[in-house]
Structure 1
Amino acid sequence: MTNRLLTFLAAISLLVSTVFSSTVLAHQQKAAETTVLFNKNSGQLEIMHRFYLHDTEHAVQALFDKNADILDSKETQQQFADYVAKQFLARTLDDKDLPLNSVGFEVEGKFFWVYQDTVPPKNLKGIKLYNGALRDLWPMQINMVNIEGKGDVRTLYFQDSEDWLVATF
């Protein structure tokens, strides 16, 4: 093969791989991350849910209304935040509910954030969590929860049929 043909084939290969990569990255991630932080300074249990904005755009149209607009509608943003709050629950190891307060939400870059908090009971030895956000809509959804501020970081993965998961301290 000539150098010109090899250069041409390499350029075509690069173009195809670039287009393929862009297409893959533009698709829904079907994954979310939550941080459960035991904040020693405030004494609060702070919860921060992070969703890919692209996922939330599709989700609100499927969950609420085909014209729902997560980017520009505060009403849709509030609806989604309320939905997340109903889908994330916390309990003590002896199954006492930890009532979570809604703190707010925001769009930041390519993410939609939902914030909650509560005052945890003293001497909490562990926590039971339920994270069903978007799993009712997409069975392939994976919700990762990192628990910080009580020793080593613990990570729980809510996927498939996982409902309540436990982390002990």
Structure 2
Amino acid sequence: MTRRLFLLLPVALLLSLAAWAHAYHASIMELRYNPQKLQVEVALKLFSDDFEKALSVGQSSAISLDKSPKAQVNTLVLQLLRRSVQVGTKPGEALPITLMGIQHEHDSHWVYFTVKLARPVQSLSLTHKLFLDVFPDQMNIVNLEANGQKQSLLFRDGQEQQQLKW
């Protein structure tokens, strides 16, 4: 009996560590201003389980990023982005988002998209409320690179809209 308990203890410890490892909800957005192409290029890293949960809201069955039809996933991802992330040249503006692709990486997914601009800019308005309706403790970290400058911002409940300047 003691031997069995001794063998089960490491398994229980590993399971509790796995549950603890994802005790927070966060995303990381790498946003790059490309003045030559007049666009904003975005790479967004999301925990896969959070991503699937958010995509599944309002659906008749759970969405799996790896098993659901790719066309369905792409449509749902684009809808999620359009209602949660707005990039504009002024507050309240939401320029069109073009989904470039989704890439699986371990326990996360990268979502790549672009936003076309009409002219060169020195600032952008960003609304980033991704997953806040699903996870109230969600933190969305944004790393901006523009004109050789880098800055980081934090978007969370009550701080969903910020001005990015360079």
Q: Same fold (TM over 0.5)?
A: yes
TM-score using structure 1 length = 0.75
76-85 or 134-143: which moved more?
76-85
C-alpha change, 1:109 and 1:81, in structure 2 (3 Å) is farther
**Unmatched segments (≥5 aa) in structure 1:** 1-10
Does residue 98 (structure 1) correspond to residue 95 (structure 2)? The answer is yes
Q: Counterpart of 1:48?
A: 43
Tell me if structure 2 keeps the 8 A contact 1:81–1:105: no
Q: 1: CA distance between counterparts of 2:23 and 2:71?
A: 23
Question: What is the CA–CA distance in structure 2 between the aligned matches of 1:58 and 1:98, rounded to whole Å?
Answer: 26
User: Cα distance, 1:40 vs. partner?
Assistant: 5.5
Bigger proportion of residues as strand: 2
1:114 is aligned to 2:131: no
Q: Deviations over 1:33-69 (max 9, x none)?
A: 1111123665532011111112123323334244322
Kindly tell me: are residues 31 and 159 of structure 1, through their superposed partners in 2, closer, same or farther at Cα, counting changes over 3 Å? same
Cα separation, 1, equivalents of 2:92 and 2:150: 22
In structure 1, the partner of 2:122 is 125
* Matches of 1:104 and 1:157, distance apart in 2: 24
Q: How does 1:1-169 map to 2 (within 5 A)?
A: 15=10, 18-25=14-21, 27=22, 29-39=24-34, 42-73=37-68, 74-78=70-74, 79-93=76-90, 97-169=94-166
**Partner AA of 1:20 in structure 2:** S
- The worse-fitting range, judged by mean Cα deviation, of 30-39 and 145-154 is 145-154
The amino acid of 1:98's aligned partner reads L
Flag the 1:159–1:46 CA change in 2: closer, same or farther, 3 A.
Answer: same
3-state SS in 2 of match to 1:153? strand
How many matched pairs?
158
Cα distance, 1:19 vs structure 2:
4.7
Distance 2:104 2:139 in 1: 21
- Give 5+ residue unaligned stretches, structure 2: 1-5
Distance 1:109 1:63, change over 3 A: farther
**Residues 76 and 29 of structure 1: CA distance in aligned 2, closer, same or farther (over 3 Å):** farther
Structure 2 counterpart SS, 1:130: strand
